[in-house]
Structure 1
Amino acid sequence: MADNIKPILCVVTSHPIRGDTGEPTGFAMVELTHPLAVFREAGIPTEIASIRGGHPPIDFFDLSDPVNDRFWKDREFRDALANSLVLSELDPSRYSAVFFAGGHGTMWDFADNPAVQHVTREIYEAGGVVSAVCHGPAALVNATLSDGSHLVAGRKVASFTDEEEAEVKYTNVVPYLLATTLKDRGALHQPAPNWTENVVVDGRLITGQNPASAHGVGKAVANQLAAKS
């Protein structure tokens, strides 16, 4: 057990509607449960937070995925999800890392949220790990360090690509294109072919491209925390 490692803060969106389409969205279940499975196996404690707290909206609710199914039947997980913490009420110093799960909802409530920016900066500048997968790197779009520079500037990152967004036909639905915007902030975006696993580690910044990358991001975070402990 990694008893000496502070908890990982897992953050999900509270945004329920995909733009003007009226379609429901939220966080992608697999992008939360797969990293959680890794963290649990490593013995690292976790807490789940969302922008508004309470039960966050779920997108891609797929119980044919065995990890999703296992967690959905887990009373402890269901309770933690139903009572997700309000991100703005948390003390970042309590955590060893922050992990931002994806899902299209993040595109509407991560980038401009002051709590997202505060938690990201405080954990990173305290020597912790900042991580995200798929649309989760929306949290990094406006994240800055104390000197005013963008956290992603000059750093290698992965995220849901513009090509993947086009394939799912949401290019004109999302408020901005994630990969393009990260590049505009100075990120060194590292794309892989659509839907292939792609995990990029640049120091204490760990990012993944898509749902297939969620497990790998979790492993990279757990490995880095274990190496530091």
Structure 2
Amino acid sequence: MTKVLVVLTNTTRYQHTDEPTGLWLGEAAEFVDAMQQANIAVDYVSPKGGFVPLDPRSMKYTNPAIMKIYEDHDFQERALTASLRPEQVNPAEYDAIYFTGGHGVMWDFPDNQALQAIALAIYQHQGYVTSVCHGVAGLLNIKDQAGQYLIAGKKITGFTHAEEILAGKQKVVPFLNKTVANKHNAHFVQKRAYKSFAVQDGQLITGQNPFSVKALTDLLVPQLKH
């Protein structure tokens, strides 16, 4: 059975503020909807396991497909209430890993060595390492056994500086995705702010922003079906 591991955040607020954040609902729900349509199974993991908060702003950007997944008992239970802990995951079971976004991931994805090990194991077994929007934070610091960054020399994308400015969050985020990506010798590419855009470079597939999930799944699903 083809299966994808979906990675979610446990972060409930922007650090050092009282403003809530969390998973950007559509970035998980639209992806899961695409996997269901392609008859591809999914599991859910988060850095701590268990509860996954939603970024309240993401509820303004729903559609019938997103709401269908959100209201599904399986998603509510396995994704939002009882997500797996990294130590419960066997990477050999998965053909791809997908790092979702929402600003929360910028605090609990980048330095999580357990998630990095899972992603690297999937990659080394010819699986796909994918992300959308801020989810690229989960890719930025992955290193192989030789100590080389997985993204070095690869084209990737993610939420941009311009999009942070438009979102009003450039002063509260701990880093900018492009800055770290370039520091780690990736080729960060982007389109106009909030325009759908995804890029594939070998086994890495990344989407720029919340509106790029379909562009990403349009690249990923044929690879998994193949």
Q: TM-score, normalised by structure 2?
A: 0.95
Q: Aligned runs of 1:213-224 on 2, under 5 Å?
A: 213-224=212-223
User: Paired residues, what number?
Assistant: 223
- Is 1:47–2:49 an aligned residue pair? no
2:190, 2:87 → 1: CA distance?
Answer: 32
Partner of 1:66: 64
Secondary structure of the equivalent of 1:8? strand
2:62, 2:32 → 1: CA distance?
Answer: 17
Secondary structure of the equivalent of 2:174? coil
Secondary structure of the equivalent of 1:27? coil
Partner of 1:162: 161
Deviations 1:128-154 (A, max 9, x none): 000000000000111011221101000
Further displaced range: 200-209 or 81-90: 81-90
Q: Post-superposition, which runs of at least 4 consecutive aligned residues in structure 1 deviate over 4 A? A: none
Is the Cα contact below 8 Å between 2:133 and 2:208 reproduced in 1?
A: yes
Amino acid at match of 2:214: H
Q: TM-score, normalised by structure 1?
A: 0.94
2:205, 2:13 → 1: CA distance?
Answer: 28
CA, structure 1 residues 202+64, in 2 after alignment: closer, same or farther (shift >3 Å)?
Answer: closer
Q: Structure 1 vs Structure 2: percent identity of aligned residues? A: 34
Secondary structure of the equivalent of 1:206? strand
CA, structure 1 residues 209+106, in 2 after alignment: closer, same or farther (shift >3 Å)?
Answer: same
2:52, 2:87 → 1: CA distance?
Answer: 15
- Residue ranges of structure 1 left out of the alignment (5+ in a row): none
Deviations 1:161-209 (A, max 9, x none): 0111111121120111111111111110111100000100001100000
1:220 Cα deviation from its structure 2 partner: 1.6
CA, structure 1 residues 63+80, in 2 after alignment: closer, same or farther (shift >3 Å)?
Answer: farther
Tell me the C-alpha RMSD between the 2 structures. 1.2
1:61 Cα deviation from its structure 2 partner: 2.5
Amino acid at match of 2:33: A
Secondary structure of the equivalent of 2:129? strand
Secondary structure of the equivalent of 2:59? coil
Is the Cα contact below 8 Å between 1:62 and 1:68 reproduced in 2?
A: no
1:88, 1:172 → 2: CA distance?
Answer: 34
Amino acid at match of 1:114: Q
1:63 Cα deviation from its structure 2 partner: 7.0
2:174, 2:145 → 1: CA distance?
Answer: 27
Partner of 1:32: 28
1:19 Cα deviation from its structure 2 partner: 2.0
1:127, 1:151 → 2: CA distance?
Answer: 13
Partner of 1:143: 142
Further displaced range: 214-223 or 160-169: 214-223
Deviations 1:88-140 (A, max 9, x none): 33111111110000000000010001112111111111110000000000001
Is the Cα contact below 8 Å between 1:63 and 1:69 reproduced in 2?
A: no
